[in-house]
Amino acid sequence: MFNNWLNYFCYCPFQTNVFLQTEDLLRVEPEEGLEKVEDSIKTCQKFMKTYHDKKKDIARLFKEGVPVVEWDFNNQLIFARLNCYLERLTVVQVANNIP
């Protein structure tokens, strides 16, 4: 179960990157491109929130009587690539909001 969650979160930027192709952004209207950027930001933020919610509530995932194994890995390592990707998306978002 843990490996599935970890894989899911580590590949989040790749999934949004498939949705958000640079070539496509240059072909559409600016508003439509910005909407895709904002959707990608929201998706990545939702992944991070879900991870933190599950980590906080991990005990509910274990059957009664089974010792709870807390997630003790470094969040910075898990989200390093995602955070970089979010920073780049935010730069695009801010640049498009400048009059």
Secondary structure of residue 7 in the 3-state scheme: helix
Q: Which letter does DSSP use for residue 13 in this model? A: H
Domain containing 28 equals: 2-97
pTM, two decimals, is 0.72
What residue type is 84 in one-letter code? C
Number of domains in the chain: 1
**pLDDT tens digits for range 54-85:** 888 888 888 889 998 888 878 888 788 888 88
Q: Which residue has the tokens 């920073």?
A: 87
Segment 32-50, tens digit of pLDDT: 888 888 888 888 888 889 8
